[in-house]
Structure 1
Amino acid sequence: MTELDANSAAGPLTLLFGRDVTLAVGICAMCGTTGPLGETVMYGPAPGTVLRCPQCSNVLMTIVEAPDRLLATMPGLRLLSVPTGGTS
């Protein structure tokens, strides 16, 4: 698969979450690196989209588009914080 900037995953991520989450912050379960999904390393698009930690290459998330559903795993994320747009 081809290595791409994870902002290329905006399409599959939007299908999964219903909005652009490239600014959502994740924490790698393996090395603890914290950063936006848009700064991860993406491989894809076929047979699916794979997001990897830019520091340790741990698989953070996979997204596969099937004909009638999306299949997603997030085995390498300790936490995913998605901004709601509200104020605190």
Structure 2
Amino acid sequence: MHEDNDHRVDGNAAAGILREVFASDVTTARVVCGHCTAGTSVAETKTYLAGPGSILRCPGCDAILARITKIRDTVWLDLSGSASWQIHTG
């Protein structure tokens, strides 16, 4: 199903909500595992910092929830192992 083109704008319209989300303390966010569907807070994930980036794993099934790598002034964020993230901004 395609949304009505009269309501479509470019991604710049999401700047406000994205700034609000990414400026929050994400350790309190609730993440749902894309593999086992268990929900947990980011603070409760198994986190590994020894490699070139950070790996967050599900405490239930050990699946990778997120990969975060910083190279110079660029952050690469891969959330493909997560079904969803719930981030409180207030």
Give the TM-score of the pair, scaled to structure 1: 0.73
C-alpha contact 2:24 2:88 (8 A) present in aligned 1: no
C-alpha contact 2:33 2:63 (8 A) present in aligned 1: yes
Mapping for residues 19-30 of structure 1, pairs under 5 Å: 19-30=24-35
How many residue pairs end up in the alignment? 70
Q: Which has the higher strand share?
A: 1
- 1:44 paired with 2:49, answer yes
Which runs of 5 or more residues in structure 1 are unaligned? Answer: 1-16
CA distance in 2, matches of 1:30, 1:43: 19
Give the TM-score of the pair, scaled to structure 2: 0.72
1:72 paired residue number: 77
Q: 4+ residue runs of structure 1 moved beyond 3 angstroms?
A: none
Which runs of 5 or more residues in structure 2 are unaligned? Answer: 1-21
- 1:82 paired with 2:57, answer no
Instruction: Give the aligned CA root-mean-square deviation in angstroms.
Output: 1.5
